[in-house]
Amino acid sequence: MAVKSWVVSANSPECDFPLENLPFGVFRQTGGARIGIAIGDQVLDLCGCAHQGLLGTLPAEVAVACSSDSLNALMALGRSTWSSVRRQVTTLLASDSDASVRERTKQHLIPMREVRMQVPAQIGDYTDFYASLHHATRVGKLFRPDNPLLPNYKHVPIGYHGRASSIVVSGTGVRRPSGQTKPANSAEPTFGASRSLDYELEMGIFIGSGNPLGEPIPISAAEEYIFGMCLVDDWSARDIQSWEYQPLGPFLAKSFATTISPWVVTLGHWNRIGSLWQSDRRRIRRRCPISRRPIRRARALR
Amino acid sequence: MAVKSWVVSANSPECDFPLENLPFGVFRQTGGARIGIAIGDQVLDLCGCAHQGLLGTLPAEVAVACSSDSLNALMALGRSTWSSVRRQVTTLLASDSDASVRERTKQHLIPMREVRMQVPAQIGDYTDFYASLHHATRVGKLFRPDNPLLPNYKHVPIGYHGRASSIVVSGTGVRRPSGQTKPANSAEPTFGASRSLDYELEMGIFIGSGNPLGEPIPISAAEEYIFGMCLVDDWSARDIQSWEYQPLGPFLAKSFATTISPWVVTLGHWNRIGSLWQSDRRRIRRRCPISRRPIRRARALR
């Protein structure tokens, strides 16, 4: 049986943020942006915990990284550090924690409804992979009804660089883009608002630590570099895309916004979810931290 | 006649960095990275000047931005600030400057041969435009001999997001990439080092200040946002590119490195060069700050 937390809301079967999850995010309350960890309906202020010595025996550089306004510095410290922080926070929040630790930790809990979440990292680059045979076939049919899947698809990971600078956090309003399109019955293109706004629900992966330029990472070591995952809404203006995308790929049709969910669920937690999936599918449905809100917003905009 | 500088090397007809140019860059000598301005065979340490009150009556936020380790904060302050800084530095370095100012300024000059230049800004995103009809036709023939120029080319700016995180400064070694290619006479792709490494000499444009997401910038106001320009070597592995590029555009074939020149020549200077071009083409050849080194390196690698 899973360990409970003294944060009562975290123990509800409906809660996305039980003690086993502890995703990282960046929030604002009244002051500047701070790193937080979600627990139940609360956010644990990691900067406050670091300053109050609640992160235990972790090195000083970890406290500095936890006091940043983005996850980059923490992610750069590598997997063993991320794991240590989560282990320490699990200890602070577990129902069997020391009473005095609990009292000190409580001072750094903020109700989730009082904070605004923001994009959790400075994203230096992002790659949009054309993953899933079914998706590639389906989207390919939109642009090439007779030839949806190209010869390279089953051999090499097809992807392109997305626009890192227009990544926004879930809940940010997205303006319908204008652009050039060429209707099939017209000889010349026209300019105007997109009439085919679409969305793609994807999984986002945060690469935590990097590698020197030109040195490959073996696939067997890939997990060492993955900090965690979020949800992505890859907004797409299909009419703009079909006119502009050859030969260099999607560009303005995607560059108006890409929405990500604010909480980064660590890879360690996903691995545990995977094991759970084998043993108890009902429980996984309750524990899988997917917010339904972005999808409803997307539907409203179509 | 152009104003001379008391930095003697700046007045040589062969010099890329006369008083009219004053490009911005980021250098390292012994300590951390600092913003500098090139003058003759020297670099003026802008951080030092700011701390010694040599930037005159410019607001405190400008001194803070000039003390950064990248150009981003300065660029974010907008065109009137960039222009003010250059005007003030012109005053410091002009041959008619006050003798005491000259003595104080001298203390912040460092011989160019003693510094290492680095990428001058944190590049949040970069777009590679398929500019020039001739280039597009020529490159198009490599991949589509019968159909080099696609129907959209003359109607909409064709471009794609490049890999911001593999931009390196001129002089950085570039490793020949490995990747998947499919020789024409083979049914299956193979993996190995690229055999068709190519380069493209391009112009890089630094966008200084941004716009709120979703709000367009009118073309008539575009120059207000352009900080300056550099040279770009858009390295390309053509054999990898021809196999991977459909339908989403170039990806790994370009992601191994993109080289930029270290000095950002301001748009104001380019506009003056443009006027000069009309009146005196011989002089412009001497004043156009193009380094010949990256091209020689590229040839050596082919």
Q: Please judge whether B250 and A255 are an interchain contact, meaning their C-beta atoms are less than 8 angstroms apart.
A: no
Buried b (16+ CB within 10 A) or exposed e, B249-283: bbbbbbbbbbbbbbbbbbbbbbeebeebeeeeeee
Choice among A51, A108, A135, A161 that is catalytic: A135
Residue with tokens 């108006």: A256
Q: Which residues of A touch B247 (CB under 8 A)?
A: 140, 143-144, 150, 158, 245-246, 249
Query: Quick one: CA torsion of A261, A266, A269, A273, rounded to 10 degrees?
Result: 50
Best of B138, B152, B161 to substitute, by most chain A Cβ atoms within 10 angstroms, is B161
The reply to whether A127-300 shares the fold of A8-118 is: no
Q: Which residues, 6 or more positions from B269, have their beta carbon under 8 angstroms from its beta carbon?
A: B20, B21, B22, B23, B228
Q: Please judge whether A140 and B247 are an interchain contact, meaning their C-beta atoms are less than 8 angstroms apart.
A: yes
ipTM for the predicted complex: 0.85
Rounded distance between C-alpha atoms, residue B8 and residue A293, angstroms: 65
Q: Please judge whether A255 and B161 are an interchain contact, meaning their C-beta atoms are less than 8 angstroms apart.
A: yes
Q: State the SS3 of A180-231.
A: EECCCCCCCCEEEECCCEECCEEEEEEECCCCCCCCCCCHHHHHHHEEEEEE
Q: Which residues of A touch B168 (CB under 8 A)?
A: 213
Residue A210 has phi, psi (to 5 degrees) of: -100, -175
At residue A121, the pLDDT reads 97
Best of A118, A130, A150, A160 to substitute, by most chain B Cβ atoms within 10 angstroms, is A160
Residue with tokens 């990284």: A65
Candidates A125, A182, A248; nearest CB to B160: A248
Rounded distance between C-alpha atoms, residue B62 and residue B106, angstroms: 21
**How many residues are there in chain A?**
302
Rounded distance between C-alpha atoms, residue A74 and residue A65, angstroms: 5
At residue A290, the pLDDT reads 46
Predicted confidence pLDDT, tens digits, chain B (302 residues)? 568 999 999 999 999 999 999 999 999 998 899 999 999 999 999 999 999 999 988 899 999 999 999 999 999 999 999 999 999 999 999 999 999 999 999 999 999 999 999 999 999 999 999 988 998 998 888 888 888 899 999 999 999 999 999 999 999 999 999 999 999 899 999 999 999 999 999 999 999 998 999 899 999 999 999 999 999 999 999 999 999 998 999 999 999 999 999 999 998 887 777 776 666 665 555 555 444 443 333 333 33
Q: Where are the domains of chain B?
A: 8-118, 127-300
Q: Locate the chain A residue with the closest alpha carbon to B144.
A: A247
Q: Number of Cβ pairs closer than 8 Å across A and B?
A: 129
Q: Which residues of B touch A163 (CB under 8 A)?
A: 125, 161
Candidates A151, A152, A243; nearest CB to B156: A243
Closest to B204 in 3D by CA, of B164, B246, B255, B247: B164
At residue A284, the pLDDT reads 54
At residue A3, the pLDDT reads 80
Q: Please judge whether B247 and A251 are an interchain contact, meaning their C-beta atoms are less than 8 angstroms apart.
A: no
**How is domain A127-300 classified at the CATH fold level?**
Fumarylacetoacetate hydrolase; domain 2 (3.90.850)
Supply A129's token pair: 């992979």
Q: Please judge whether A213 and B156 are an interchain contact, meaning their C-beta atoms are less than 8 angstroms apart.
A: no
Rounded distance between C-alpha atoms, residue A283 and residue A286, angstroms: 5
For B8-118, CATH gives 2.30.30.230
The ranges of chain A with pLDDT < 70 are 1-2, 276-302
pTM of the model: 0.88
